[in-house]
Structure 1
């Protein structure tokens, strides 16, 4: 059985995007960018919601071809293209870059993927991740908290019907006061 991790950047007040989808407050340091890159390199399968897919696929497929692309961006782009991806959307057209599109029941497909063999899975995109959280499919949470209050926007955690008990697995501090906390769901 595969493990499913939900990991995202978030503001100190718990938002993954500020009002209007603004992500400008979450610019990573070189060290944090490398941490995310290494995570992509270790991911067996990434699950994307539509909005996250649109953002990632508009930049990373060709980011390494841009004039003056830093070596870290070249590495990330190569890892991102190589990483198997599943995109969940009923409105997105064809997907590329080692991806496949799922237009049906996301929760059922995530449960099916978890039950299979393979490396660890990461889930991203607030709406998709919220559905997985509500159905108890997430095994681990990775919160990369930036020292900023954005006052609203897209929350990391949805409203849940039941408590979810967690065990702290890891903490780490990055430059700029960014703090990583990783929790495993207590089963």
Structure 2
């Protein structure tokens, strides 16, 4: 089915710790909540799982956070210990495990570009990248596609959306050489 990687990016390309700098206002939150209905589950690497589960699992009462907490999550990990938060481990070869999910018609969303993306690109598994650029320069931090092998990946802009706060969401369909 579908795998979409959605990530928040500063104007200078930083993707690390977006909760500290991203302009995630009510319009962006509502848009993200509406989009969650298009997916069956999250795909997360282990570090993202650890960070997000610590931050979001204890929260409730916000429709966006409640939707995230309720969604099933597939975690690419070498250790399946201590998984909670509606999560299941994808152990072994991540390419074949994720391909099997897609063949089973599971619509996946992954937040953030991380080391896992090298396997996703190598396996030709990402269907679309959504980059939400916040109109701010962060200066330091992990950059978009840093340490990710993008060999053979081509992106084609297919849509864009401007938020009232000046953030811009760009949809890029993937093609592989």
With structure 1 as the length reference, what TM-score do the two structures score? 0.81
Inter-CA distance 41–50: structure 2 relative to 1 (3 Å threshold): same
Say whether 1:174 aligns with 2:170. no
Q: 2:85 & 2:159 partners in 1: Cα distance?
A: 32
Any gaps of 5 or more consecutive residues in structure 1?
none
Offset of residue 95 of structure 1? 1.5
Offset of residue 180 of structure 1? 0.5
Say whether 1:110 aligns with 2:106. no
Return the match for 2:121 from 121, 133, 139. 133
Deviations along 1:31-88, one digit per CA (max 9) or x if unpaired, are 1112222222331121001121112211322311xxxx5xxxx212321122111011
Q: Which residue of 2 aligns with 1:58?
A: 54
With structure 2 as the length reference, what TM-score do the two structures score? 0.85
Offset of residue 186 of structure 1? 4.2
Inter-CA distance 41–35: structure 2 relative to 1 (3 Å threshold): same
Q: Which residue of 1 aligns with 2:13?
A: 14
Could you say which structure has the higher helix fraction? 1
Any gaps of 5 or more consecutive residues in structure 2?
none
Asked if the contact 1:5–1:142 (Cα under 8 Å) also holds between the matched residues in 2, the reply is yes
Say whether 1:185 aligns with 2:174. yes
Number of corresponding residues: 173
Offset of residue 134 of structure 1? 3.5
**How do residues 28-47 of structure 1 correspond to structure 2 at under 5 angstroms?**
28-47=24-43
